[in-house]
Chain A
């Protein structure tokens, strides 16, 4: 609160806004273009990298993170960090369930019930005590 002059008003030149906007549009065009080139797994990397650059531009210039107090940048970073932790730690489970036994990795029935009912026109068969799944081994990933 002490630095009166600095934080009061920081007006960016019109040029900055317009060039950032232009850059965003160009990047959009690039990412759409690249998506039609088959790069295998790299498509994801490229698309997400471009998206991150765009997001950064919006945050730094439109949202003034570059010029405002550091604390806002910290808050923004914390949000991203915890989101990343959430997803990563969940994937420690979901991607590694077959570590001991591949049978545990995949669901037994690959398809949801809605597809089964659609497949045969017969009404639902009453379920027995011993499921069919016990006798048919699943295919692990």
Chain B
């Protein structure tokens, strides 16, 4: 307003330029991602310390995770990251149709991820490989194997909640893309959702080897 330039509808009153608004959003998003890293940080610390205390138990217990399903989920999530990135790229090129398609694929991948997780979880529930005091499985050698499953469920559980939240965010930007809210000039919400989604992927990239491969 101060500049007397025309100001588009998406420019909030307290910013003077679109540029400033976009960069603020991005900065805010990155700081938010930082808090997410530290939120998961507590769980990584949990993992590291108990693994260092009971390496053998962790090793024995991790064999009960299904590497194939874990790997499948890794592939699914990585693919969804690619399509997410491409969705943004298409928007930058003003190709709204493609953006919509890529977002839909991303959403589908997220859903596949959760379905696979569902099967993994229900199999474990069935065997009594439950966290904490509900643990009734007897096949793991070593002290306190229930702790491994506590780690497994808290880490993948919190991650799963993030996937779910990501799906909500993606659906929302998808809806807004369909409603033609975005253009090559303004697509900040998609970009933010993308950043979030890549972080969710990034965390999984660590969870997969830590839990499934090396216990």
Q: Which of B19, B71, B93, B201 contacts A58 (CB 8 A)?
A: B201
Q: Are B146 and A112 in contact (CB under 8 A)?
A: yes
B116 contacts chain A at the CB level, 8 A cutoff: no
Q: Are A76 and B78 in contact (CB under 8 A)?
A: no
CB contacts (< 8 Å) of B75 on chain A: these are 25, 28
Q: Are A75 and B206 in contact (CB under 8 A)?
A: no
Q: Which of B52, B144, B198 contacts A62 (CB 8 A)?
A: B198
Chain A residues within 8 Å of chain B by Cβ, number: 53
Q: Are B67 and A11 in contact (CB under 8 A)?
A: no
A48 contacts chain B at the CB level, 8 A cutoff: yes
Chain B residues within 8 Å of chain A by Cβ, number: 52
B92 contacts chain A at the CB level, 8 A cutoff: yes
Pick 13 A–B contacts, CB within 8 A, sort by A.
A1-B20, A21-B78, A25-B78, A28-B71, A31-B209, A35-B213, A47-B213, A48-B210, A51-B208, A79-B33, A79-B38, A80-B37, A83-B44
Chain A interface (Cβ < 8 Å from any Cβ of B): 1, 4, 7-9, 11-12, 14, 17-18, 20-21, 24-25, 28, 31-32, 35, 43-44, 47-48, 50-51, 54-55, 58-59, 61-63, 68-69, 71-72, 75-76, 78-80, 82-83, 86-87, 90-91, 94-95, 110-112, 114-115
